[in-house]
Amino acid sequence: MSIIEQMTDLECEQLIICYDKGTGLKTAIAIHDTTLGPALGGVRMWSYTSEEEAVADAIRLARSMTYKAAIAGLNLGGGTAVIIGDPRKAKHEAMMRSLGRFVDSLCGRFIATTDVGTASEDMECLRAETRYVTGLPPYLGGSGDPSTSTAYGVLRAVEACTKHVFGSGWLKSKVVAVQGLGKVGSALARLLRAEGADVVACDIIDEATRGASRQFGATIVAPEEIYDVECDIFCPCALGGVISRDSIARLKAKIVAGSANNQLADPTCGKQLADKGIMYAPDYVANAGGAIQLALELTGHGLDGAKAKVAHIYDAMEAVIARAEAEKISTDQAADRMVEERIQSVRRVKNMKGTAFKPF
Ligand code: NAD
């Protein structure tokens, strides 16, 4: 698909390609939808193999940010900035400041935060050039890394699904398979253990698995074995696209709920999960906790308020399940409908505003 076709297909408002010779910055900023408010989105730095791959990723991620903000009840739209390059080798202060200037030139249409390949310290560099940045370190008045909030939100989605599937949200003795023990996966595994669940986990990094086994007694399996684990709940917390025809055939779990963005390899996978009797917590419903924390940071609220609001992911998940049952559709379709209705209704309000004549 051409870029315009991709934007049309996913209804992406704007795409900005930026290049800065001085710092070597090559970035694409996708602003998916600003109906509900300015587009909040992560800055992802990745060794993309082509510009096409980077742009496609930016558009897809921006769309999932719009949906995440909308279902979480935030007054924000969705965007994403992708930087082409290996964050371990090519990232430096000047490059981040350069991105900050480009973000500033958008006058608040896009608010940047961390994602894969960037951290709070990078947002500090952006902050030197723009105020349109969140996820800042606590010493700058920010709320810090949002991963703990994300993990807590996933736990709440897991509890809502567990209540529905097993008749009680009680996680004691449930077997939970966690794929990926990074920032979110390890925090989630710790929360699950605190609730009495048995955690089976994997990661491609030995240090991560050793830590999980030592610190909270997770049973470790090889990454390729995680789909075959005899478990009640499967939590994808590593990469997108992992719920595919192949993995669905192997899954033993009754619930899939995790933090990874864009988990479904294609749009039919949600229905395939439902047909197999597996309850799916749509990724953008389950993983909205971090976005909620960042939205509250923007309005000057602290972490305590964030935790209370993140807890409502339980209610959002219950509403999605109820809608799916009422309309006999899969949970991902139900969540999409709820988001699209909210955006559509607010779009009507905006249209009323556009009647005033502004001469210049
Ligand atoms: P992270 O980079 O800290 O952790 C990802 C982990 O997955 C790493 O430890 C990595 O080694 C592991 N991994 C990669 N490939 C794997 C594989 N094939 N099998 C097993 N493990 C593998 O990232 P994170 O911040 O913990 O985020 C995890 C996922 O959740 C990502 O998809 C991210 O986009 C998404 N997400 C994160 C947040 C957040 O607040 N951090 C919010 C929303 C969504």
Quick: pLDDT tens for 151-179.
999 999 999 999 999 999 899 999 999 99
pLDDT, tens digit, 9 for 90 and up, residues 207-235:
999 999 999 899 999 999 999 999 999 99
pLDDT, tens digit, 9 for 90 and up, residues 65-98:
999 999 999 999 999 999 999 999 999 999 999 9
**Residue range 268-275: mean pLDDT, rounded:** 98
- Please answer whether residues 48 and 82 qualify as being in contact, where contact means their C-beta atoms are separated by less than 8 angstroms: yes
Q: Which CATH superfamily is domain 3-63+76-140 in?
A: Leucine Dehydrogenase, chain A, domain 1 (3.40.50.10860)
**Ligand 1 atom closest to 242 (CA):** 18
Cβ–ligand 1 distance for 238 under 6 Å, the answer yes
Strand pairing partners for 325? none
pLDDT the model gives residue 300: 82
30 three-class SS: strand
Q: Where are the domains of the chain?
A: 3-63+76-140, 147-342
Cβ–ligand 1 distance for 183 under 6 Å, the answer yes
pLDDT the model gives residue 116: 87
**Ligand 1 atom closest to 146 (CA):** 40
Decide: residue 184, CB within 10 A, 0-12 exposed, 13-18 middle, 19+ buried.
Answer: buried
Mutate to test the pocket of ligand 1, among 82, 150, 234 (most ligand atoms within 8 A of CB): 150
Mutate to test the pocket of ligand 1, among 204, 285, 313 (most ligand atoms within 8 A of CB): 204
pLDDT the model gives residue 357: 62
pLDDT the model gives residue 305: 80
Residue 281 vs residues 77, 155, 249, 314: alpha-carbon distances, Å: 21, 11, 18, 10
**Ligand 1 atom closest to 149 (CA):** 40
**Residue range 45-50: mean pLDDT, rounded:** 96
The alpha carbon of 105 and the centre of ligand 1 are apart by a number of angstroms equal to 31
pLDDT the model gives residue 356: 59
- Please answer whether residues 102 and 16 qualify as being in contact, where contact means their C-beta atoms are separated by less than 8 angstroms: yes
Question: Is there a shared CATH topology between the 3-63+76-140 domain and the 147-342 domain?
Answer: yes
In the predicted structure, residue 56 carries a pLDDT above the cut 60: yes
In the predicted structure, residue 352 carries a pLDDT above the cut 70: no
CATH architecture of the region 147-342: 3-Layer(aba) Sandwich (3.40)
pLDDT the model gives residue 286: 98
pLDDT the model gives residue 186: 96
Average of per-residue pLDDT values in the chain: 95
Residue percentage of the chain with pLDDT more than 70: 97
* CA dist., res. 13 & res. 36, Å (int): 13
In the predicted structure, residue 101 carries a pLDDT above the cut 90: yes
pLDDT, tens digit, 9 for 90 and up, residues 283-334:
999 999 999 999 999 988 777 789 999 999 999 999 999 999 999 999 999 9
Cβ–ligand 1 distance for 291 under 6 Å, the answer no
